[in-house]
Amino acid sequence: MARRVASALGFLGSDRLRWPLSLLLGVLLWAASLPPYGIGILAVLAFVPLLYSLPGVPMAKVLSKGWLAGTLWEFSTLWWLIPTLVRYGNIAEPLALLLVLGMCGVLGLYMAGFLGTMALLVKRRGDWAIVLAPFAWILWEWLRGVLLSGFPWWGPGYALSLYPAFLQGTRLFGILGLSFLALLSSAALTLYLRDRHSTVALVTVPAALLLFVGSYLAGAWWNAQPVEPKPTMPVGYLQPQIPQNRKWDPQFSGMILKRTLDLSMAFQHYGLKLLVWPESSTPFEWDADATYRQAVAKVAGAINSPILVGSVLSSADGYQNGAVLVMPDGKEAGHYAKTHLVPFGEYVPLRQWLFFARPIVEEVGEFAPGRSLQPLSLPEGKVGVTICYEGIFPSLVRREVRNGAQLLVNMTNDAWYRGTPGPDQDFLIQRVRAVENDRYLIRSANGGISGVVTPRGQLQAATPKGQPASFWGLVEFRSTRTPWDRVGNAWLLLPLLVVLFFARPSRANQPGARLSP
């Protein structure tokens, strides 16, 4: 079997079709690994054609084809942004397509950087340097999450996290640790297909297989262990399911508020410790509408529970996308304002040049960022809040936990992306934050996936998809510390040193060297 696969890949390397077919095969495998298909293991295979075809290709071609590969991979992940821009940004389909392609083109530079790094390593150290792919990849994936405000939306680690056993590994090194495992497996498979009798293949393949299987078995064992102490604190969350084209329409404001209040009143006899409303729950500005504040306070008193309300806030810097904690006595116990805003969703970067993108923001207004990641305090403990997009940033959530957050809340409005894989991808990303930090996560979405996620990443309770509902689950306020929480991304110093060491010029460099000396 391996010989037939290697022969097929060898054909790709024998003529001008090598790179185009490698790119196409990689894109197809990558797309199939994503929700709604969700065959996560295919993300490991997706890198094999690119790595297999790498040796001997000129650097300029590696960079150009790598950029094209990255652009196509990103487009297969994010194509669902196009209908959002058309429906709610009043942007024509051709322009929406160009905007998304432009975004994917920028993100594609990271794949070009990765493959360029690998081409340099192979040139200076020989074909065996393919084994360094996981070290190079996680550096570029990390850069993708921090440069230009960062966009760490999916990756091979998230593909493996679709399997609950692998998901548990994020407690150790975060989501980048799973990406390392995925690329190590890709590199081992590539080396095996190129020359399975080489010394490096004979060492790398068993080691990668042992680590891959060992990680799965250890994760499966950990996932089977009960979470202690058992959760006893009831919490609630709402899914109002307000269509996005009605959410900010004044003629529907009364209906939206009534639905939200009615859904909340269903918890009168539940003894909740917290009720979470979704992002921008109602079309009212919190600080400017006393009637709205009084209505929320009345409901909090009626159900005898604190309510965390997603609402528009006012500040000296302007309007903010935020949350307010209202106690049963009607008093406000704290505010949180979203610190990491969505480019082209909550503000337009470089707006003097990108004037054509302003309609996207004008649908909801342009926001100012918050400045604090301090958790909100309840009698039972502290709550770390993220609003929608913020939850895709592992380091942001980690900072909240290190600031004392014992329970995580993510409020969102995925009604923007109805009928697309967007809400599923978003939820799967958010649930990783619960496992990385060993915390319960309450997720309240206007439209999307709402529920309580356990510290093992299991969806304990969830609302029916696509229907307005109020639901509840059990949580605990936890103060445990995971290795990821303690170390964060500091461990990336090791792969950085490895890449720099092997990328340096060497007298013994043999660009055409075989896998074994």
Say which of 388, 390, 400, 476 is annotated catalytic: 388
Question: Is 305 in contact with 272 (CB distance < 8 Å)?
Answer: yes
Question: Could you tell me the two tokens for 451?
Answer: 């529920």
d(CA 194, CA 286): 62
Question: Is 115 in contact with 62 (CB distance < 8 Å)?
Answer: yes
CA angle 439, 150, 451 (to 5 degrees): 30
Nearest by Cα to 464 from 171, 241, 261: 241
Helix (H, G, I), strand (E, B) or coil at 215: helix
338 as an active site residue: the answer is yes
CB under 8 Å to 109, separation ≥6 — which residues? Answer: 67, 70
Question: Could you tell me the two tokens for 93?
Answer: 């389909």
Question: Is 158 in contact with 77 (CB distance < 8 Å)?
Answer: no
Is residue 69 exposed (0-12), middle (13-18) or buried (19+ Cβ within 10 Å)?
Answer: buried
* R_g of the chain, CA atoms, integer Å: 24
Q: 450-453: long-range contacts at Cβ-Cβ below 8 A with a sequence spacing of 24 or more? A: 450/237, 450/238, 450/239, 450/278, 451/237, 452/235, 452/237
Residue type, 4: R
The β-bridge relationship of strands 274-276 and 233-239 is: parallel
Nearest by Cα to 349 from 360, 339, 338: 360
The residue to which tokens 């329970």 are assigned: 407
Question: Distance between alpha carbon 115 and the CA centroid of its chain, in Å?
Answer: 23
The residue to which tokens 């400017």 are assigned: 288
Concatenate the DSSP letters of all residues of 228-259 into one string: SSPP-EEEEEEE----HHHHT-GGGHHHHHHH
Question: Could you tell me the two tokens for 221?
Answer: 């064992």
The β-bridge relationship of strands 459-462 and 451-453 is: antiparallel
388 as an active site residue: the answer is yes
Q: What are phi and psi of 151, to 5 degrees?
A: -150, 75
CA angle 424, 71, 183 (to 5 degrees): 70
Question: Could you tell me the two tokens for 511?
Answer: 């660009």
d(CA 303, CA 323): 19
279 as an active site residue: the answer is yes
Say which of 74, 279, 346, 400 is annotated catalytic: 279
Say which of 247, 273, 338, 382 is annotated catalytic: 338
Q: Show which residues are catalytic.
A: 279, 338, 388
